[in-house]
Structures are given as structure tokens and as C-alpha cells.
Structure 1
Amino acid sequence: MLGRTYEGQNCSAARTLELVGERWTLLILRDVLLRDLKTFGEFRASLGLARNVLSARLDHLVGEGFLRRRPYGGHADHYEYLPTDKAADLLPVILALNAWGDRWAAPQGPPTLFRHSVCGAAVEQKLECDECGEFTDPRQVVAVPGPGRQGMT
């Protein structure tokens, strides 16, 4: 992972990777957002990772505001983990990673299909120009300085 200092790295992608770039983090968020998993046991069964790793990842996601912890089952030490708006805003990123993986890393075809819950049609991500509404080839996207670029060369 990237360092915690950003000298020369005035980049929102770099900052985002510091928060969610560890692989288990994105897989937990996938499970929360797309599989409706909520409990430690459900995450453990889905991901098969060590208790200490899962505990650390969940603590991180709660601490960074991606999940909120709520007691359940009448036990003081049993919690369910619920996504916040901050987590929900990562859904397009997770869907984009899946789409890339379906194209380049799934020789047998997509393991999961994503459908619109209202009509059942396939959900597809597209880059769309805010001004003209035209769908944009990713190779036509360029980066230009933004307001947070101050002080950078």
C-alpha cells in the first residue's frame, strides 16, 4: 500500500487506495453491498479469512466510516455491520472491477451477473459526458488540473 504521506501525490485515487486498497476491504464491501451479508460469521464463511484479519478489516471500515456497527441477537459482543452512504458510493467502483474482471480474468464467463432490481435488465456502466450526454470511449478521457491542484506543478 502507499505511504501515509502524500508529498508529490496530490491524487484522489492514491488517497482512496489508502482507505480501500487492501484486497479484503473491497471484498467485505462487495459482500455488504451486493450480497447483503452483515455479520462476522457471514463474512468469515464467504471470505474464509482468519478471524484476526477480518476483525482488523471490519474495525478499519467502521473507523473510516464505511460501515456502522449495530448490536444484534441480544449479545453484547455480537454485531451486524451496515453500509453507510460512503460505502454505497463505492458500488460503481466494485461493479467496474467486476466488469474488467469479467472481460480479462474470467475465461469461463462472468461468475456473477448484475441486474436492475426493478425490471431485471442487465446493469452496465458507461462513461457519459456531462455536457453532451455522449457515451465516451475511455481512451478519450483526459485529466486536467482541478481546484485541489493548488501548489502542485
Structure 2
Amino acid sequence: MQRKSLTRDECPIARSLDRVGEWWSILIMRDALQGLRRFDEFSRSLGIAPNMLTRRLTALVEAGMLERRAYSERPPRYEYVPTAKGEDFRMVLMSLVAWGNRHYAEEGTSVELVERDTGRPLQPMLASAEGHIVPLDRCVLQAGPAASTGMRERLASLAAKP
């Protein structure tokens, strides 16, 4: 059994990174989730080369993160709207904001996650299905129903480590 194929085929982190793990894709999703929709808006915001932007938008559409919608027929023009899958990525981005602020903002935070109505700072949290906050040190990964034998063995060996 090859570890590489186990990781790429079965690991949810590896699968996710295959779709959105490239630098530009994450920044495009950030901008799309903040309301940018059109090619020229992304281009201005990111300073990305047009050919790279075209490739990344196409990949995000193919991954089901964005939906391409025509807004002009002559000339043909499109906007890119986050899908439900793309909206779910918001939590990943908010976690990156909090992590980056905590570990890489020596000069102070330039962007904060806050509650819309009160402006109070927020931190991404894990919660049970019933809504109870669960500290990260009380969380573990376990094999899911579709886990292969290799994944079950891998997780069991990691759980046995102190």
C-alpha cells in the first residue's frame, strides 16, 4: 500500500487542497465571498495576470466552488458567484484569518473577524451538533464510515502516539 495514494485519495485535507490549495484560488474565494463577482474586479483586487485568473476561475467553477453566470451577451461577459460549497469555504478563510493574526501579525492585526452588529472580535470555534463549544484539545480525528483499512490503521497509529 502506498501512503501517497492513501493521502491523496482519502484524506479530506488533501482532497480539499487539490481543489483550492493554490494561493490564487484561496484569494479569489476570499474576494468572491466578500462580494466581488466580475473578472475585472478580481483582476484589480489581486493584480493577477489575466491568463492565471482565467485558469483559476475555471478550476474553481469545475470544483463547484463558483458558478459562472452570463451578465452580458454582447460582448459575452460573466460573473462568478459562490455556490453553497463555496459559501462553506468561508469558515476555512475565517480560521486562516484568526490563525494568521495569532501567529504572523507582529505589527498588529490588519483584518479582524468581528460580530456584524456589535463589532466584538470573534474567534472560530468547534461546536458539537447541539451547539456546545468543544475545546480543540478535546477533539480527535477518527475513521469515518467510508474509511479504508489503511486509513483506519493510520489514524489508530496516530492516536497511539503520546
Same fold (TM over 0.5): yes
CA distance in 2 between partners of 1:94 and 1:72 (Å): 28
CA shift for structure 1 position 8: 2.1
Larger C-alpha radius of gyration, 1 or 2? 2
Higher helix share: 2
Secondary structure of the 1:103 match is helix
Number of aligned residue pairs: 147
Aligned position for 1:32: 32
Deviates more, 1:105-114 or 1:90-99: 105-114
Structure 1 pair 30–134 and aligned structure 2 pair: CA distance change class (3 A) = closer
Note if contact 2:125-2:133 (Cα within 8 Å) is conserved in structure 1.
Answer: no
Structure 1 pair 110–20 and aligned structure 2 pair: CA distance change class (3 A) = same
Deviates more, 1:142-151 or 1:81-90: 142-151
Structure 1 pair 135–144 and aligned structure 2 pair: CA distance change class (3 A) = closer
CA shift for structure 1 position 119: 4.4
Secondary structure of the 2:5 match is coil
AA partner of residue 142 (structure 1): V
AA partner of residue 48 (structure 2): L
Moved over 4 A (4+): none
Aligned position for 1:15: 15
CA shift for structure 1 position 89: 0.5
Q: Once the two structures are superposed, what CA deviation does each residue of 1:93-152 show, in whole Å capped at 9, x if it has no partner?
A: 00000101011111122211223334443332112344682431x233222221121332
Note if contact 2:113-2:121 (Cα within 8 Å) is conserved in structure 1.
Answer: yes
RMSD: 2.2
AA partner of residue 138 (structure 2): Q
AA partner of residue 14 (structure 1): A
Aligned position for 1:135: 134
Aligned position for 1:98: 97
CA shift for structure 1 position 65: 1.1
Aligned position for 1:3: none
Aligned position for 1:107: 106
Q: Once the two structures are superposed, what CA deviation does each residue of 1:64-112 show, in whole Å capped at 9, x if it has no partner?
A: 1111111224534211111100000011100000101011111122211
AA partner of residue 140 (structure 1): R
CA distance in 1 between partners of 2:89 and 2:128 (Å): 20
Identity of aligned residues (%): 36
Structure 1 pair 78–134 and aligned structure 2 pair: CA distance change class (3 A) = closer
Deviates more, 1:139-148 or 1:122-131: 122-131
CA distance in 2 between partners of 1:112 and 1:75 (Å): 39
Output the TM-score relative to the length of structure 2.
Answer: 0.80
